[in-house]
Amino acid sequence: MARNEFEEGRFDTALYRANGFILFQASMLVQPTRSPPTGVDLYARFAFAGALGCSITHGSLTPVDVVKTLMQLYPETYNKGMVSTARTVVAEKGFGALWTGVGPTFVGYFIQGAFKFGGYEFWKKTLIDVVGVEKAPEYRTAIYMTSSALCEFVADIALCPLEATRIRLVSNPNFATGLASGFIKLWREEGILRGFYSGFGPILFKQIPYTIAKFVVYERTAEAIYEMLPVKKESLSDSSVLAVNLGSGLIAGFAAALISQPADTLLSKINKQEKKEGVSISSQLVKLARELGFKGLFLGLGARLVLVGVLTAGQFAIYGDIKRMLNATGAIEISKKKPATQ
């Protein structure tokens, strides 16, 4: 067996074992408990709920993301809208081409979702303790912004290698046959920093404003909706809470997509290009931005609004339901009154 095939086999085996471990942990989490979880146990449940929410939504919307990425990378070819682009891709490359990169998408966003949602709850609680319970409502927007920025920074360290692999697979279908081979090839040919983290700056540039808008708009929208309802949240049915999560998530997704669209376009472009010795990423970004112009930076916005709006609504809906199933009721909500647990 060739060395690269052996290493790919080991990589796939590791993924298989990791998935088995995840399923085992999930089975342990859903065991009935006598009292609500606290501490590490509580945040592990937040992380698992967030991991499922992000991986399921991003994985299922892979075709939309593929279409969006192709419209950004090849505007001279794919310039007639999302539906037309999808039809062209299927006609030229087959239906399976729309699912290019689904492996790194699912795995990457499972890991990122755990750090993002689990980290957000952790930092929100930490900052409330720092500010003080009585003053937290006054500074709640700043708490949301800081918590989301901190959790996203850590999450992107885990996401960046898999996102770089995904974009390389979409932009060049002949680059590799899948996640394992693409991951290893990128590692061998370009190394960890140049291959996996050359787009780390652009990812932060995109994801931190994206996540800030996502959580802040979601929190404030949900708060406004609950204040308008004639009954308290605790009295609402599960389906009513789900509807609020979906609606708030959809609005948050639209806001996040608009704010982060230019950086998303630059990220797709920078990962497509071969890395140049002696040329910094920042200088490449500035050059690309000038070449694209304002209109070019918003290429694929329609597809991305659909993608981000739907997946954000789905994420918050899944996150809320999984938390309830796991008895993770210790999340803190800040309103105009003092913070309270859900």
Report the amino acid identity of residue 179.
L
Number of alpha helices (DSSP H) and beta strands (DSSP E) in the chain? 11, 2
Whether 48 shows a pLDDT value over 90: the answer reads yes
Mean pLDDT of 261-281: 71
Predicted local distance difference test score (pLDDT) of residue 189: 87
Q: Does 35 fall in a domain?
A: no
Mean pLDDT score of the chain = 83
Cβ-based neighbours of 138, under 8 Å, separated by 6 or more = none
pLDDT at 53 over 70: yes
User: Within a domain: residue 6?
Assistant: no
What pLDDT is recorded for position 218? 97
Q: Is pLDDT at 286 greater than 70 in this prediction?
A: yes
Specify the pLDDT at position 40.
92
Whether 338 shows a pLDDT value over 70: the answer reads no
- Domain at 114, CATH number: 1.50.40.10
Band of the pLDDT at 167, cuts 50, 70, 90?
confident
Size (the chain), residues:
342
Q: Which of 147, 177, 58 is nearest to 331 (CA)?
A: 147
Please give the Cα distance from 97 to 13 (Å, whole number).
25
For residue 8, being part of any structural domain is answered with: no
For residue 312, the model assigns a pLDDT of 95
Q: Is residue 73 assigned to a domain?
A: yes
Q: What is the pLDDT of residues 168-184, one digit of tens each?
A: 887 777 888 777 888 88
* DSSP conformation letters of 164-201: HHHHHHHH-TTS-SSHHHHHHHHHHHHHIIIIISTTHH
Q: Quick check: 209 and 218 in contact, CB under 8 A?
A: no
Query: Which of 201, 293, 209 is closest to 252 using CA atoms?
Result: 209
What is the identity of the amino acid at 282? Answer: S
**Higher pLDDT pick, 279 / 299:** 299
* 36-71 burial: b if 16+ Cβ within 10 Å, else e: ebeeeebbbbbbbbbbbbbbbbbbebbbbbbbbbbb
Looking at residue 34, its pLDDT comes to 56
pTM of this prediction? Answer: 0.75
- 341 phi and psi angles, rounded to 5 deg: -80, 150
Residue 272, pLDDT > 80, answer no
pLDDT per residue as tens digits for the range 189-198: 888 777 888 7
Residue 227: domain span: 40-341
| Model pLDDT for residues 94-109, shown as the tens digit of each residue | 998 899 888 878 888 8
CA–CA gap between residue 303 and residue 89 (Å, rounded)? 15
pLDDT band at 14 (very low <50, low <70, confident <90, very high): very low
Q: Is the residue at 28 inside a domain? A: no
Domain count, the chain: 1
**Residue 84 is assigned to a structural domain of this protein:** yes
What digits encode the pLDDT tens for the residues 64-101? Answer: 888 877 887 788 888 778 889 999 999 998 998 899 88
Domain for residue 34, yes or no?
no
Question: With 80 as the cut, is the pLDDT of residue 150 above it?
Answer: yes
